[in-house]
Amino acid sequence: MKKEKFTIKELMRPNILKLVPYSSARSEYIDSDALLLDANEHYRDFVGNDGRNRYPDPQHTLLKKKIEEVLKLPAKKLAIGSGSDELIDLLFRIFCTPKKDKALLISPTYGAYEVFAAINDVAVSHCQLKGDFTIDLNKMEAVCSLVNNGTPESGMHKLLFICSPNNPSGNSFPLEQIEMMVNRFQGVVVVDEAYIDFSKKESAVKLLDKYDNLVVLRTLSKAWALADARVGIAISSDEIIKMIHNVKYPYNLSGISQQLAMATLDNYSEVQKHIELIVQQRERVASALKEFKFVDKVYPSEANFLLVRVLNDPVQLLQTLRDEKIIIRNRSNTRGCYQSVRISIGSVEDNNRLLDALKRIDRDYDGEK
Ligand SMILES: *Cc1c(COP(=O)(O)O)cnc(C)c1O
């Protein structure tokens, strides 16, 4: 018999539920000529004429409006983090009691989940993907039943991270499988859609109407070309969004970052054009790589990078490329990514330069394909 799910409040840490959040001097965005003598700020902006002397809007009101307008995500369901990395950390802090609760990862996946778990002293369990990086559904069902054995009192698996499209494998998971896990998992499911802009697959945002134990993460760091500004987006149910606001640093996103994010979102059509270009280039680079003798396998990708399994020594490959001032990522020490490197897709010129260098490496490679 299926156990009833815990409510979101039951899943939250008791100290976090009891929290009286810090109330900043100006919790409302004030768009007026008001004389601001409430926050001990300086009256003068020495570095520009743009309000650098003022604290930024802690609620990111204008940015959320812009996100609603451009990305069609309801402003009321959004929380903005200093990168999705902050949001991942906050979810651990909101739900996982250190040394007691756990998190479930679908591996191999984004390394940050494990790092933030460790920082918060939260243990992780892994459900390993199949060799082709798809989910073994029987195993996933079994793992879900296995990890659903705790209670908030005794400690339990509170978070399940699903990165789709997945980093570093590049594939995405069917929405039905994601829904199955949101359904079966007793805690909160976090679907990290950092690379969704490069994929044709449907977003898990659609499931938010049906489930309150779901958080979808987006970022402006990849397809939106704004990694420097550190803007991550969480879309979730009211209780979770409210708690993220209670727990985050009041001024977690600088005014400059909020402005840059809005300007980027205004540039939607230009960004869209480049997404198409990157997708085309991804397919071109993938085809070219497959021709090299030293390349064993190029995994299909729905992101802006390729995972490539090589027959030569990955460390040597990285070094040879480094000598040509080209940097790629070694993933061969990640379980399930044996002998593999991850290569980001650049501009046409960048990709030409990479392929030229790899051509030389291939010429010198004397192994068998
Ligand atoms: C790059 C990446 C992010 C983005 O993190 P930010 O902190 O928003 O820059 C999030 N998730 C995954 C899986 C990533 O690869």
Q: Using the 3D structure, point to which of 266, 293, 319 is the last residue of a domain.
A: 266
Question: Are 278 and 237 members of one domain?
Answer: no
Q: How many angstroms is it from 85 CA to the middle of ligand 1?
A: 6
Is 0.85 surpassed by the pTM of this model?
yes
Mean pLDDT, to the nearest integer, of 4-18?
A: 94
Question: Are 253 and 302 members of one domain?
Answer: no
CATH number of the CATH domain containing 349: 3.90.1150.10
Domain of 356, in residue numbers: 269-364
Inside any domain, residue 3: no
Among the listed residues 360, 296, 344, 333, the one whose alpha carbon sits nearest the alpha carbon of residue 167: 344
Q: How many angstroms is it from 360 CA to the middle of ligand 1?
A: 32
Question: Are 279 and 340 members of one domain?
Answer: yes
Q: Indicate the top mutation candidate among 82, 85, 87, 224 to test ligand 1's pocket, ranked by most ligand atoms within 8 A of CB.
A: 85
Mean pLDDT, to the nearest integer, of 233-241?
A: 98
CA distance 354 to 340: 16
Inside any domain, residue 166: yes
Number of domains making up the chain:
2
| pLDDT value, residue 366 | 84
109 CA: nearest ligand 1 atom? 13
Residue 191: pLDDT band with limits 50, 70, 90 = very high
Ligand 1 binding site (Cβ under 6 Å of any ligand atom) = 83-85, 110, 163, 167, 192, 194, 219, 221-222, 227, 232
Question: Are 319 and 233 members of one domain?
Answer: no
Inside any domain, residue 304: yes
- Beta bridge partners of residue 106, listed in sequence order: 127
Tell me: pLDDT of 26 over 80. no
CA 267 to mean position of chain CA atoms: 22
Residues 29-81 pLDDT 10s:
666 678 889 999 999 999 987 889 999 999 999 999 999 999 999 999 999 99
CA distance 145 to 283: 39
349: burial class by Cβ within 10 Å (0-12, 13-18, 19+)? exposed
The two three-digit tokens of residue 8, written as one number: 């979101």
CA distance 228 to 244: 22
Q: Using the 3D structure, point to which of 246, 266, 286 is the last residue of a domain.
A: 266
Inside any domain, residue 369: no
Tell me: pLDDT of 369 over 90. no
Comparison of pLDDT for 23 and 168, the residue scoring more: 168
CA distance 292 to 2: 51
Q: Indicate the top mutation candidate among 115, 219, 307, 342 to test ligand 1's pocket, ranked by most ligand atoms within 8 A of CB.
A: 219
Q: Indicate the top mutation candidate among 80, 82, 84 to test ligand 1's pocket, ranked by most ligand atoms within 8 A of CB.
A: 84
Question: Are 356 and 301 members of one domain?
Answer: yes
Inside any domain, residue 176: yes
Question: Are 219 and 322 members of one domain?
Answer: no
Residue 1: pLDDT band with limits 50, 70, 90 = very low
128: burial class by Cβ within 10 Å (0-12, 13-18, 19+)? middle
Q: What is the 3-state secondary structure (H, E, C) of the chain?
A: CCCCCCCHHHHCCHHHHHCCCCCCCCCCCCCCCCCCCCCCCCCCCCCCCCCCCCCCCCCCHHHHHHHHHHHCCCHHHEEEEEHHHHHHHHHHHHHCCCCCCEEEEEECCCCHHHHHHHHCCCEEEEEECCCCCCCCHHHHHHHHHHHCCCECCCECEEEEEEECCCCCCCCCCCHHHHHHHHHHCCCEEEEECCCHHHCCCCCHHHHHHCCCCEEEEEECCCCCCCHHHCEEEEEECHHHHHHHHHHCCCCCCCHHHHHHHHHHHHCHHHHHHHHHHHHHHHHHHHHHHHCCCCEEEECCCCCCEEEEEECCCHHHHHHHHHHCCCCCEECCCCCCCCCEEEEECCCHHHHHHHHHHHHHHHHHCCCCC
Q: Whose CA is nearest to atom 7 of ligand 1?
A: 83
Inside any domain, residue 17: yes
- Beta bridge partners of residue 295, listed in sequence order: 310
Dihedral of CA 246/249/255/259: which sign? negative
> Where do we find the tokens 């082709």?
132
Q: How many angstroms is it from 143 CA to the middle of ligand 1?
A: 26
Question: Are 186 and 311 members of one domain?
Answer: no
Question: Are 61 and 186 members of one domain?
Answer: yes
Question: Are 56 and 202 members of one domain?
Answer: yes
Residues 287-345 pLDDT 10s:
999 999 999 999 999 999 999 999 999 999 999 999 999 999 999 999 899 999 999 99
Mean pLDDT, to the nearest integer, of 163-183?
A: 97
Inside any domain, residue 89: yes
Question: Are 277 and 308 members of one domain?
Answer: yes
Residue 273: pLDDT band with limits 50, 70, 90 = very high
Question: Are 76 and 169 members of one domain?
Answer: yes
Tell me: pLDDT of 231 over 70. yes
CA distance 76 to 78: 6
CATH number of the CATH domain containing 156: 3.40.640.10
| pLDDT value, residue 148 | 84
Question: Are 262 and 329 members of one domain?
Answer: no
Residues 192-215 pLDDT 10s:
999 999 999 999 999 999 999 999
Q: Using the 3D structure, point to which of 266, 283, 301 is the last residue of a domain.
A: 266
